[in-house]
Structure 1
Amino acid sequence: MSLKNIFSAFKKSVGENDTSLSTANLNEMKNNKTLLIVGLGNPGTRYAKTRHNVGSWVIDTLSKKYKVKLVSKGKLKIGIIKISDTTVYLVKTTTYLNESGPPIVSQLSQLKLSSKNLLVICDDIDLPNASLRLRKSGGHGGHNGLRSIISALGNTEFCRIRIGIDRPYNNGNPIRSSEEIANWVLSAPNDVELKEIRLTIAKIADSIQIIAESDFENAMTFLN
């Protein structure tokens, strides 16, 4: 089934990109084709440059690209943009990854949206650095942010884009120690890795217009 239908088509349109989160504005936005894009990451400057925050880097890139400021709303930071006839919410959580599900689901509920309107972007330690995996549904794969969202939603039926951050190795063998993995995801990529990730994020940012104007399948073709 095409996500053109899945991403809730609504009829009424609004004007320019707007960061106002007033009740009147939110009610108006409900009547549009709507997409909630969440970039997962941990809050605060301590974690801002770490591998675990690559999902939130995508939201930062989109907010700059569309010249919209994220404003605080509860445990979320939200910016609202308009792409053709689609209202797009750019979302970052201000909670830690393992607590990100409830505020995201609360926002979906407030907007009277379902998981079909949700796109989550996160890191993936099992993918090579800067590579991509796109899915329309699926499990959490050990990612605590996805685990929290799935638990809060009660289903796995939402789109996700995973960005590879690779894993640490010892003499060519992958390290699976939970302590060393935690240190890896909570550390910053080196300069070469960062350059590769930035190129991938730029491509994801370009694909959002395809998702908004067409569907997720076309974005998958573009990104693959």
Structure 2
Amino acid sequence: MKLLLVGLGNIGVEYAYTRHNVGFLVVDYLAAQQKVTFRVSRLAATASFACKHHEVYMFKPTTYMNDSGKSVRYWLNHLKIPVEQSLTIVDDITLPFGTMRLRAKGSDAGHNGLKDIALALHSDCYPRLRVGIGHDFPKGGLADFVLGNFNTKEVEALNAHLDKACQILIAWCNGGIAHAMNQFN
């Protein structure tokens, strides 16, 4: 069976270690664990690895966060993977830094990347891993916060959080959404 892990973020070195790119950071961390590298392909950077009886594809859209849907739709169709066999990894300001929540479906909660995916798929019924980045910003400071770099305290804890996210992804690959939710939510 084929599975697809979608890390959301923005391309470009200026965004590489920003909070909004936590989806990219998670799949990069998993790629390093699996000893695979991403290569640029159509609408995304892609990599793959075997996990038990599954071929797991990972990708990072090269369309910027707010246009992620086009890339997700293309790769689901190209690889012939049903949407329920995909998992989108995304930053979430409503969760404290490092907190993670798996969901089988749900609203975009104001996240433009998720909103664009729902528009492209004509549905919000796709699994996602929401990775908390906190909400320590003043009124009107959302864009600066999500597009800003992690602070020193967050950087010190980041690898542990990325490792936990990868454990969740592997649990999802091995047992599906319900199994991973029971284990980690």
Superposition TM-score tier, normalisation by shorter sequence: over 0.9
Separation of aligned partners in 1, 2:3 and 2:87: 7
In structure 1, runs of 5+ residues without a counterpart are 1-32, 170-174
Verify: 1:94 aligned to 2:62, yes or no: yes
Separation of aligned partners in 1, 2:170 and 2:121: 26
Q: Identity of counterpart residues, as a percentage?
A: 35
Following superposition, the deviation at residue 106 of structure 1 comes to 0.8
Q: Which amino acid aligns with 1:134?
A: L
Q: Which amino acid aligns with 2:70?
A: P
Verify: 1:195 aligned to 2:163, yes or no: no
1:129 touches 1:196 (CA, 8 Å); kept in 2? no
In terms of fraction of residues, the more helix-rich structure is 2
- 2:25 alignment partner in structure 1: 57
In structure 2, runs of 5+ residues without a counterpart are none
Following superposition, the deviation at residue 37 of structure 1 comes to 0.3
Separation of aligned partners in 1, 2:174 and 2:2: 11
- 1:185 alignment partner in structure 2: 146
Separation of aligned partners in 2, 1:209 and 1:126: 24
1:203 touches 1:223 (CA, 8 Å); kept in 2? no
Bigger radius of gyration: 1
- 1:206 alignment partner in structure 2: 167
2:100 touches 2:165 (CA, 8 Å); kept in 1? no
**What is the count of residue pairs matched by the alignment?**
185
User: For residues 61-210 of structure 1, what are the structure 2 equivalents within 5 Å?
Assistant: 61-169=29-137, 175-177=138-140, 180-210=141-171
Following superposition, the deviation at residue 157 of structure 1 comes to 1.2
Separation of aligned partners in 1, 2:28 and 2:117: 21
- 2:12 alignment partner in structure 1: 44
Structure of greater relative contact order (alpha carbons < 8 Å, 6+ residues apart): 2
Q: What is the root-mean-square deviation of aligned Cα atoms in Å?
A: 1.2
What's the TM-score once normalised by structure 1's chain length? 0.79
Separation of aligned partners in 2, 1:81 and 1:200: 22
Counterpart secondary structure, 1:142: coil
Q: Which amino acid aligns with 1:186?
A: L
Deviations 1:16-57 (CA, angstroms, capped at 9, x unpaired): xxxxxxxxxxxxxxxxx1111011000010000100001110
- 1:27 alignment partner in structure 2: none
Deviates more, 1:187-196 or 1:118-127: 187-196
1:127 touches 1:165 (CA, 8 Å); kept in 2? yes
The alpha-carbon distance between structure 1 residues 202 and 184, as it changes in their structure 2 partners (threshold 3 A), is same
Following superposition, the deviation at residue 218 of structure 1 comes to 2.0
Structure 1 residue ranges (4+ consecutive) displaced by more than 2 angstroms after TM superposition? 194-198, 221-224
Q: Which amino acid aligns with 1:219?
A: A
Separation of aligned partners in 1, 2:160 and 2:184: 12
What's the TM-score once normalised by structure 2's chain length? 0.95
